[in-house]
Chains A and B, each alone.
Chain A
């Protein structure tokens, strides 16, 4: 490593973790509301 900044992996993992978790939460909510709407349509 020749960088002026070294380490700081906590920032890297925070950015990746926040992105992944947010997308998963939105995906979960999307699937849940879609299933509910399909079930409601089928009566």
Chain B
């Protein structure tokens, strides 16, 4: 077992424990909100998911720039892992928001600036995953996905600032400074839980993608010595 896998499994363990304890405190120990009552407890998964989704797409931006600059396949593995996780987290974010919106706003969905920009961000990054799945040449896939990721990342600050730039039904960004002190602990614990889970899953997915790429390129390497130096010619 490689060091990265050991670290990844360790992160996953920490994330699962933190998520369990943080969710228990959020569901049982923390007080209900003055106006929203117990429904507000959805914040303990919704806000950490939002923070981490934006962070994951920003790491994806770094991986995309890293690949275009260095042409290292490790950057592309990280990009793929971050895209998968970011899409998962953002889809969860939209679902959690819909579940929270129904009892508080009276509707599952509204074409509010925050919700609309988040949906656009989700569709763009899901589209990049679809693009990757339909390109066979590794170098073409990695280069196009990197460029597309850089362009799609523009939605990240737009999503974050949408509640301030436009008149939004959605409340402004929640931070430990904007919530009651009794709610800070479960919010922070679940935020770190989602972060550790994301890091652990990324390390495992990056390792898996590397092994899969090496297995698919091995026949090419055997028949063509230059494949390691020019992997862009390999067809995966």
In the complex, whether B173 has a CB less than 8 A from a CB of chain A is: no
- Residues A40 and B215 in contact, CB atoms below 8 Å apart: yes
CB proximity of A18 to chain B, nearest CB, Å: 6
Contact residue range for chain A?
20 to 34
Main secondary structure of the interface of B (DSSP, over half): helix
Within 8 A of B (CB), among A1-43: 1-9, 11-12, 14-16, 18-20, 22-23, 26-27, 30-31, 33-34, 37-38, 40-41
Main secondary structure of the interface of A (DSSP, over half): helix
Contact residue range for chain B?
35 or more
Our pick among B27, B39, B88, B207 for the contact of A8 (Cβ within 8 Å) is B39
In the complex, whether B45 has a CB less than 8 A from a CB of chain A is: yes
Within 8 A of A (CB), among B63-111: 85, 88, 92, 95-96, 99-100, 102-104
A/B interface sample: 5 pairs, CB < 8 A: A5-B104, A11-B39, A12-B39, A19-B45, A30-B201
Chain B interface (Cβ within 8 Å of chain A)? 5, 12, 19, 23, 27, 32-39, 41-42, 45-46, 49, 85, 88, 92, 95-96, 99-100, 102-104, 197, 201, 204-205, 207-208, 211-212, 214-215
